[in-house]
Amino acid sequence: MKRYINKIAVVSLTLLLTISLTNCKAVDNANNKQKGAVIGATSGAILGAIIGNNVGKGGNGELGAVIGGVVGGGAGILIGNKMDKQAQKIEEEIPGATVERVDDGIVVTFDENSGVYFDTNKSNINSASQSTLNKLAGVFAEYPDTNILVVGHTDNTGADDYNMELSKDRAYSVTNYLTNKGLSSGRFTTNWFGETQPKYDNSTAEGRAKNRRVNVAILPNEQMIENAKKEAGN
């Protein structure tokens, strides 16, 4: 009986903490499924936020395995609370980035207008992007029980093979920059899609600029999941 009461207390307290974070734009976008209320949900929502219009159209199995499913019950609520706090911190530190709370994770999108961008046909991290990535590295260091997925994209200008290689180089530039700041390389997975996964209309200059993007997905690692299950009494 005591364990049952403690479990109710943990869940109730976590719900109150979660409600207190609703001033965060990314948290406002999260629904009950994204807070871990559904057991065994797929990773399709995060894939959609990362990939865009072509989610589910081949080649996504590896990313699905990395992202995994949604943790349910009290453990899911505890994880959701921790991820809410991290999302809010990223929004505070990097106001130009698009920060979304999706399922158990966070998806951060950088394009030419939001903090991390690349000069034309270049893959090196320029000085403007370094400042943003330094702030992001600080948040990642503050929340060590997470894994990080970096995904690169381009617009459709230029040859397919060239764009694929360019998106790879840009994604690894971001990963390598962050690991050189002292973050464990074991937390990172890097992927790239070239021009094959647009989120916006490549027939417009604005759409192409937004498609030249790098996504960073932040996901609870096994340690966070196990700790949450123990705390919730799962």
Distance between CA atoms of residues 57 and 51, nearest Å: 10
Query: CB-hemisphere CA count at 13 Å for 211?
Result: 23
Q: Is the pLDDT of residue 10 over 50?
A: no
Residue 9 banded pLDDT, cuts 50, 70, 90 = very low
Domain count, the chain: 1
pLDDT one-digit tens code per residue, 153-210? 999 999 999 999 999 999 999 999 999 999 999 999 999 999 998 888 999 998 888 8
CATH code of the domain covering residue 193: 3.30.1330.60
Bridge partners for 108 per DSSP: 99, 216
> What is the distance in angstroms between the CA of the first residue and the CA of the last residue of the chain?
15
Mean pLDDT score across all residues of the chain: 80
Distance between CA atoms of residues 46 and 68, nearest Å: 10
Output the pLDDT for position 27. 57
Which of 15-19, 71-75, 159-163 has maximum average pLDDT? Answer: 159-163
CA 47 from centroid of its chain's CA atoms:
10
Residue 116 banded pLDDT, cuts 50, 70, 90 = confident
Residue 142 banded pLDDT, cuts 50, 70, 90 = very high
Range of the domain at 102: 2-232
Residue 134 near residue 174 (C-beta atoms within 8 A): no
What is the percentage of the chain residues whose pLDDT exceeds 90?
47
Q: Is the pLDDT of residue 39 over 70?
A: no
